[in-house]
Amino acid sequence: MSEEIDGGVETTAPIWAVFGDLMSVLLGAFVLILVGIIGVQLELSTRLDEEVKQRQMETQRRKSLEQALAGPLAAGRVTLVNGRIGISGSVLFALNSDQLQPEGREVLKSLAGPLAGYLKARDEILMVSGFTDDRLVRDGNRRFADNWELSAQRALTVTRALIDEGVPAASVFAAAFGSGQPVSSNTDDAGRARNRRVEIAPVPRPSTATVKSHD
């Protein structure tokens, strides 16, 4: 009789051992899943915090730029949209010309001081961008091969004028967009006039590592 009892114990013990191992595996899997969920939540929380901080910094940057340009903005000589300072091409240049008009030079002079002061407190540089309408450069004008060249020369003219008025040369550069980035329709004179413009926008200064990687 005792042998039968002993035999029963021997067959039952491995079942509890297997059950215990299974529970250990399930518990380990549950812990791994829980750790994974917590890790994902922490990552999402970190990303959200970074995004909120980034938006706050962008809002503060735009507010600072608005404050720096309060005078020119109040005078209606420039616009400020999404951090980009816009100047009408007709204010700066005659049609198909890259020579500054007196009014345009005065506008740039009014901008140079506030922009130089703004740059001192930030690791940013100014991108001066030239834009044109979609009409070809006037026949007989041999100075410019096309709208790309015209927009490039206008951006360079504004860049040099800002440097002459005190903006550090290392904190400004020129870019040309030709007719490729219109802000209005080119189907009428008013729309084409809005597309002939120069924009000045603060952008992050390239890091030394980035510059070296391109050398």
The per-residue pLDDT for range 68-110, each reduced to its tens digit, is 888 888 888 899 988 899 999 899 999 889 999 999 999 999 9
pLDDT for res 19: 63
Per the CB < 8 A criterion, the answer to whether 177 and 196 are in contact is: no
Residue 54 binned pLDDT confidence (cut-offs 50, 70, 90): low
**pLDDT, position 42:** 79
Q: Which domain, by its residues, includes 44?
A: 1-68
Give pLDDT, residue 95.
Answer: 87
193 and 163 in one domain? Answer: yes
| Assigned token pair, 157 | 């003219």
Claim to verify: residue 93 and residue 178 sit in the same structural domain: yes
Cα dihedral across residues 102, 103, 104, 109: positive or negative: positive
- At residue 178, the pLDDT reads 94
Instruction: Among 31, 50, 68, identify where a domain stops.
Output: 68
Mean of pLDDT values over 147-172? 96
77 CB-near residues (< 8 Å, 6+ apart)? 87, 91, 107, 110
Proportion of the chain above pLDDT 90, given as a percent? 44
Distance CA 23, CA 12 (A): 17
What CATH number is attached to the domain comprising 201?
3.30.1330.60
Give percent of the chain with pLDDT exceeding 70. 80
123-140: burial string, b at 16+ Cβ within 10 Å, e else:
ebbbbbbbbbbeeebeee
Residue 143: the pLDDT is: 81
User: Which pLDDT band holds residue 6 (cuts at 50, 70, 90)?
Assistant: low
Question: SS3 for 97?
Answer: coil
Are both 99 and 202 inside the same structural domain? Answer: yes
Identify whether residues 22 and 107 lie together within a single domain. no
Q: Which of 20, 49, 68 is the last residue of a domain?
A: 68
Q: What is the pLDDT, as a whole number, of residue 44?
A: 79
- Look at the pTM and tell me if it is higher than 0.75: no
Please tell me the total count of domains within the chain: 2
